[in-house]
Amino acid sequence: MRTSEHYHEDLRAMRPNVYMGGKLVKRDDPRIMPGINVMKITFDMAKDPQNAELFTATSQYTKKKINRFCNVSDSVEDLLTKQKMIRTGARLSGFCIQRCMGTDTINALSIVTKEIDDANGTEYYQRFLEFIKGYQRKDQIAAAVQTDAKGDRSKRPHEQADPDMYVRVVKQTKDGIIVRGAKEDITMASYCDELIILPTRTLTKDEKQWAVSFAVPADWKNVHIINRASAPRERKYLKAPLNTYGSSDALVIFDDTFVPWDRVFMCGEYEFGGRMALAFAASHRHSYCGCKPAVEDIIMGLIALAAEYYGVADKHHIREKLAHLAGIAELIYAAGVAAAVDSTKASSGTQIPNPIYANVGRRLAGENTYDSWGKVADVAGGFPVTMPFEEDYYHKKMGPFINKYTVRNPKVSAENMHRLQRTLSDYLSSSWAGVWQVADMHGGGSPVMETIAILSNYDFEERKKVVKRLAGIKD
């Protein structure tokens, strides 16, 4: 397994193809570092004796010990442990541990490449096996490169005025394929090793050229990454772990990119496009059932601590809010547990989380995002968004005034009150907070996408039969 230092060195050795703020930048640009620091947690935890059991697994392919983020789940236990690891990781990073993106893409590939081969006698699964063994041995990080530009949302890929609105194969040669298009919002693209590309949606027989899945190193020729980084505000005096973390999301351009056949996992099998998209979605929404409870954990911690520091911990509306949030957190988590316990086995042996439980959990999380943060804003009061800048707290003349007038509970020092309110400010009113609140709504699929997944998997006819029997209705 890699160390976080080794990972950082590997990033530094990559070909520069990341653009940000109008310039070609290095992968360890200071604005990208906060995302890299989150990745480092995943390497450090795998080496940490207290967390190694959670953050490592035994590969079903090589029988070797690997980082659990590189694992393809082949048991209920694996799914349960992945979910628990993600909740632990997201608590440590303060929001999203990010690396599960790659975990969920390799799980989807393991399922669907085998199913295509079973149906068509192709060799995608063998290619996947070669790929995954190298990926696990090198302890790599992959970005999940799924969301296409999509153009006019009311039109299918083959109906778009510009066919490049969904990533497509423009040419096939004896050595590989040439792809063109763009994928947007791609988290970690600027600090991952591999980009794994999956279709976004179900496809029809008119859409063979859009039925494409492949992996390329993130610095591959004719791949351009246009990055946007976000992080909590930098601290000058009050250094805190949260302010070392952050993330990056990118528009990834495939500029007639050549992909050799051994890295192509789907090419033209339109009837498996939706299967691949949904296999990833089920796995990723199961992962969300680990990370969103962690976000609710942080929300509850912020509220409980603010209430204590403000002297209102015992008030009814605070306790009511905490009970409600505990319910949301644990129902999301319980949906993930149910998805694992009621999972099924794919023909490849990969354990597939139950899609209904994974989707209802993710939907509950997405729909409650702003309500949960609204509760934090309520308890935080106004000062965290109007408080003076950090330097003013350390000004010789003004600092003592600020410290005197911001103390509320006399048992809590002025510095700790400052720390909490600045953290509340980061979570409620920084540009980073805005990005992550939208991510909690849309990442892994907007609530409407979970609705579609639930409606297509759920048996409402069965429910009608229940009522017909109760009502004595005989057809």
Report the DSSP pairing between strands 194-197 and 142-145: parallel
Does the protein bind ligand FAD through residue 450 (CB under 6 A)? no
Question: Candidates 110-118, 156-164, 182-190, 330-338 — which segment interacts with ligand FAD by CB under 6 A?
Answer: 182-190
Q: Considering only residues 1, 11, 144, 376, which one is a binding residue for ligand FAD as defined by CB under 6 A?
A: 144
Does the protein bind ligand FAD through residue 204 (CB under 6 A)? no
CA distances to 32, 112, 116, 209, 276 from 273, in Å: 33, 9, 10, 11, 5
Query: How far apart are CB 330 and ligand FAD at their closest, in Å?
Result: 25
Does the protein bind ligand FAD through residue 443 (CB under 6 A)? yes
Q: Considering only residues 37, 354, 445, 450, which one is a binding residue for ligand FAD as defined by CB under 6 A?
A: 445
Does the protein bind ligand FAD through residue 192 (CB under 6 A)? no
What number of residues does the chain have?
475
Q: Distance (Å, rounded) from C-alpha 96 to C-alpha 441?
A: 13
Does the protein bind ligand FAD through residue 448 (CB under 6 A)? yes
Q: What angle, rounded to 10 degrees, do the helices at 316-341 and 76-93 form? A: 150
Does the protein bind ligand FAD through residue 1 (CB under 6 A)? no
Residue count, binding to ligand FAD (CB under 6 A): 22
Return the residue matching tokens 């590997």: 10
Residue 386, H or E segment: helix 383-386
Q: Distance (Å, rounded) from C-alpha 266 to C-alpha 211?
A: 7
Closer residue to ligand FAD (CB): 144 or 318: 144
Q: ∠ CA 126-129-132 to the nearest 5 degrees?
A: 150
469 CB contacts (<8 Å, ≥6 apart)?
none
Q: Considering only residues 240, 398, 438, 473, which one is a binding residue for ligand FAD as defined by CB under 6 A?
A: 438
Binding residues for ligand FAD restricted to 63-102, rule: CB under 6 A: 101
Closer residue to ligand FAD (CB): 89 or 444: 444
Closer residue to ligand FAD (CB): 182 or 242: 182
Q: Considering only residues 326, 442, 454, 457, which one is a binding residue for ligand FAD as defined by CB under 6 A?
A: 442
Question: Candidates 160-168, 314-322, 335-343, 438-446 — which segment interacts with ligand FAD by CB under 6 A?
Answer: 438-446
Binding residues for ligand FAD restricted to 239-278, rule: CB under 6 A: 249
Q: How many CA atoms lie within 13 A of 78 on its CB side?
A: 26
Q: Considering only residues 264, 325, 439, 453, which one is a binding residue for ligand FAD as defined by CB under 6 A?
A: 439
Q: Considering only residues 108, 356, 435, 453, which one is a binding residue for ligand FAD as defined by CB under 6 A?
A: 435
Does the protein bind ligand FAD through residue 196 (CB under 6 A)? no
Q: Residue 258's Cα: distance from chain center in Å? A: 27
Cβ-contact 81, 335 below 8 angstroms: no
Does the protein bind ligand FAD through residue 150 (CB under 6 A)? yes
Closer residue to ligand FAD (CB): 173 or 446: 446
Amino acid letter for position 235: R
Query: How far apart are CB 467 and ligand FAD at their closest, in Å?
Result: 30
Cα dihedral 410, 411, 414, 419 sign = negative
Does the protein bind ligand FAD through residue 423 (CB under 6 A)? no
Closer residue to ligand FAD (CB): 419 or 442: 442
Does the protein bind ligand FAD through residue 165 (CB under 6 A)? no
Q: Where are the alpha helices (DSSP H) in 311-351?
A: 316-341
List the x/- string, 312-351, binding to ligand FAD by CB under 6 A: ----------------------------------------
Question: Candidates 47-55, 73-81, 131-139, 441-449 — which segment interacts with ligand FAD by CB under 6 A?
Answer: 441-449
Q: Considering only residues 153, 396, 397, 404, which one is a binding residue for ligand FAD as defined by CB under 6 A?
A: 153
Q: How many CA atoms lie within 13 A of 258 on its CB side?
A: 6
3-state class of 154 per DSSP? coil
Does the protein bind ligand FAD through residue 437 (CB under 6 A)? no
13 CB contacts (<8 Å, ≥6 apart)?
none
Q: Distance (Å, rounded) from C-alpha 366 to C-alpha 363?
A: 5
Q: Which two tokens stand for residue 46?
A: 């795998």
Q: Residue 211's Cα: distance from chain center in Å? A: 23
Q: Distance (Å, rounded) from C-alpha 68 to C-alpha 47?
A: 12
Binding residues for ligand FAD restricted to 114-143, rule: CB under 6 A: 143
Q: Distance (Å, rounded) from C-alpha 192 to C-alpha 217?
A: 9
Question: Candidates 179-187, 236-244, 358-366, 384-392 — which segment interacts with ligand FAD by CB under 6 A?
Answer: 179-187
Q: Distance (Å, rounded) from C-alpha 161 to C-alpha 178?
A: 21
| Site of interaction with ligand FAD (CB under 6 A) | 101, 143-147, 150, 153-154, 185-187, 249, 435, 438-439, 442-446, 448
